[in-house]
Structure 1
Amino acid sequence: MSQLGHYPKYVNTEHFSDSELPANQHLSSLAARSLDLRAYVFNVPITKFRGITQRSGVLLQGEAGWAEVSPFWDYDDSYSARWLLGAIDHAVHGLPPAIRSEVPVNATIPAVDSQRAFAIASSAGASTAKVKVADQQPYDSPQNVAQDLARLEAVRDALGADAKIRIDVNARWESDTALKLIPLYDAAAGGLEYVEQPVETVADLAYVRKKIDVPIAADESIRRAEDPYLVKKMEAADVVVLKNQPLGGVRATLDLAAELDMPVVVSSALESSVGLRAGLALAAALPDLPFACGLATTSLLHEDVTSKPLVPIHGVIELRDVEPDLIEENSARVPADLRAQWEARLSRMWEILRSQGLLAAGGLTWG
């Protein structure tokens, strides 16, 4: 199956105003027009996350505004092409209308020591926290598990007994490890809201869910799967975590959420405030939003492309436009080799989309 072949066919039209086309028609319209977008490479230092200390990507400026495309470097061009397609949709057509003016968010706690975890949680202003675990191999060693447990206990101490804590394993456990460790982590947190992607395969996810009382959330099993509906078919999760960039943009993700018909948590891909604005648009357009969303990640950025970043206040982020007034200054500082890598990468991604009939002529003018 094509990496881009999973876009949902059904569109829940309540997500769109009368003046808007359904998501699949938006994408079809891109193939029927010549596009001329301005592109700027950005690069910002971040708190170490996913093993990286710099976050780079590209901002696109189109007739409807700004958009971000920033697939991580370990993703191949075929998978990354859907990130570009969604960004082009946003830059050309804008974002869908919202049904709420603010979005509740969780604090994100990286795999740091317990003292640092306590400090981050204490200053976050949120009553929900997502805690990264299983960051060091071997993931089930007594030392690494003890560090995870201490981090969870510190977050619980910082937020109080009424807080909600979830963990993100990033599919790093085997099934037997998950069955052994989830009860320990649940106890350390004083009760987990859910465990995000404890194991890699959907079959293993379904197996763990049947054996464990703690709710299970699927992330990679949705956004990196050839069949994102398999999670529902196999009853492998209680919650789905959706990120708009990997799923082809806000409209395509709304379409997918409607078909899955499961509780949704919207999360970021560690974007700049421009990228986060699209994630907020997704969360603000969903008919139901039962959980705090993982969109308060600008705290991990040491810089941003705007002087007015999207930051939470009292656990919510207000829905507002973002003007990347610092992008030209930031882009001018990007190393020449990194700029060249992004220009070549987006050229390859564009060609993949063009060869599949999803984009027509046109291209990017680099700023």
Structure 2
Amino acid sequence: MTPARPPALDEIIAAAHVVAIPTRTRFRGISVREAVVFDAPEGASEFSPFVEYDDAEAAPWLAAALDFGWREQPAARRERIEVNATVPAVRADEVEAILVRFPGCTTAKVKVAERGQSLADDIARVRAVREALGPEGRVRVDANGGWSVDEAVAALAQLAACDLDYAEQPSASVGELVAVRERIGELGVEVRIAADESVRKAEDPLAVARAGAADLLIVKAQPLGGVRRALSIVEQAGLPVVVSSALDTSAGIAMGLQLAAALPTDLLAGACGLGTVALLDGDVTASPLVPECGSIPVRRPALDAALLEHHRASPDRVEWWRERLARTYALLRSDG
């Protein structure tokens, strides 16, 4: 068993490769995804907090990368993970081209509440997804906390006609989620509420469950500090979960797959959001973790030297990420 103490910073830096991979479609305002991937003793791992996150918010992401790369992981309960398609905030007439990248997926998560777009844009996009998947498919929406309570209630009242599986983080705060859930219930709108940012960006990730603010949780391995900590949070929350990703390379997706594979059957709430490598125009491995017949096998792909070189970030960005690694590592050591 590998030790729980983190490896030395020099070892981490030596194992690190900084990459910059274009996205096929603009996603969360991103057209190039930067990440640090590690050729670590236990297999490829990843550190990829978004560039706008401060060091304190990035620290759990590094803890996750070190745990996954330098420690043996919890045992898997399943060999494949069903995944959903992820539809960015594209025009309705672009939906079909997006869904083609997710072969066999019968569930789709659709981005809504995009800045600069209207509710009419969201409704058209969601309807296009519903039509493409047919009545048996599952359609989810994700607002990333972009609506006020009033906006969320009004939007979900209309989007409910598309037979939604759930609405992810319709509003930003736990209190707002409580209000949205209560108000749509009073209106007879049957849409489950899922919490994402209120779990992964919260000082207390269990506050959502205690407040009765959500029907299920969206969990991501990196921002929650790794597979072990995420499993502990899920166990304490006692709510069903969907495992998702943050536009990771296959090295990061492998971590999410390990988390989904380790979950008890009664807590895994359907298809997971781990198919997002399909949104990248490149990867760090020659055997990418992308959907096949609607699912992805639980495995750790090997890093490919030629692809690491092809996607290597510019020297100034490499230095930026190395400095971020050092600062974040110092935070982890001071907290530990």
TM range (shorter): over 0.9
Runs of 4+ off more than 3 Å: none
Q: Distance in 2 between matches of 1:34 and 1:272?
A: 24
Where does residue 365 of structure 1 map in the other structure? none
Where does residue 361 of structure 1 map in the other structure? none
Deviation at 1:109, TM superposition (A): 0.3
Letter in 1 for 2:39: Q
- After the TM superposition, which residues 262-301 of structure 1 pair with which residues of structure 2 at under 5 Å, given as runs? 262-288=239-265, 289-301=268-280
Is 1:216 equivalent to 2:190 in the alignment? no
Corresponding residue SS for 2:194: strand
Where does residue 13 of structure 1 map in the other structure? none
**Structure 1 residue ranges without an equivalent (≥5):** 1-18, 21-25, 358-367
Letter in 2 for 1:130: K
Is 1:89 equivalent to 2:67 in the alignment? yes
**Structure 2 residue ranges without an equivalent (≥5):** 185-189
Where does residue 120 of structure 1 map in the other structure? 98
Is 1:195 equivalent to 2:167 in the alignment? yes
- After the TM superposition, which residues 71-220 of structure 1 pair with which residues of structure 2 at under 5 Å, given as runs? 71-122=49-100, 124=102, 125-137=104-116, 144-187=118-161, 189=162, 191-212=163-184, 213-220=190-197
- After the TM superposition, which residues 19-34 of structure 1 pair with which residues of structure 2 at under 5 Å, given as runs? 29-30=4-5, 34=8
- Deviations 1:277-309 (CA, angstroms, capped at 9, x unpaired): 000000000002221100010110000001110
Q: Distance in 2 between matches of 1:290 and 1:195?
A: 14
Q: Distance in 2 between matches of 1:338 and 1:239?
A: 37
**Contact kept in structure 2, 1:265 and 1:292, CA below 8 Å:** yes
Q: How many residues align?
A: 323
Letter in 1 for 2:125: R
TM normalised by structure 2 equals: 0.92
- After the TM superposition, which residues 320-359 of structure 1 pair with which residues of structure 2 at under 5 Å, given as runs? 320-326=299-305, 327-330=307-310, 333-357=312-336
Corresponding residue SS for 1:30: coil
**Contact kept in structure 2, 1:122 and 1:159, CA below 8 Å:** no
Corresponding residue SS for 2:31: strand
Is 1:258 equivalent to 2:235 in the alignment? yes
Where does residue 237 of structure 1 map in the other structure? 214
Deviation at 1:311, TM superposition (A): 1.2
C-alpha RMSD of the superposition: 1.6
Change (3 A) 1:315 1:151: same
Report the identity percentage. 45
Q: Distance in 2 between matches of 1:164 and 1:34?
A: 45
Letter in 2 for 1:98: A
Deviation at 1:122, TM superposition (A): 4.7
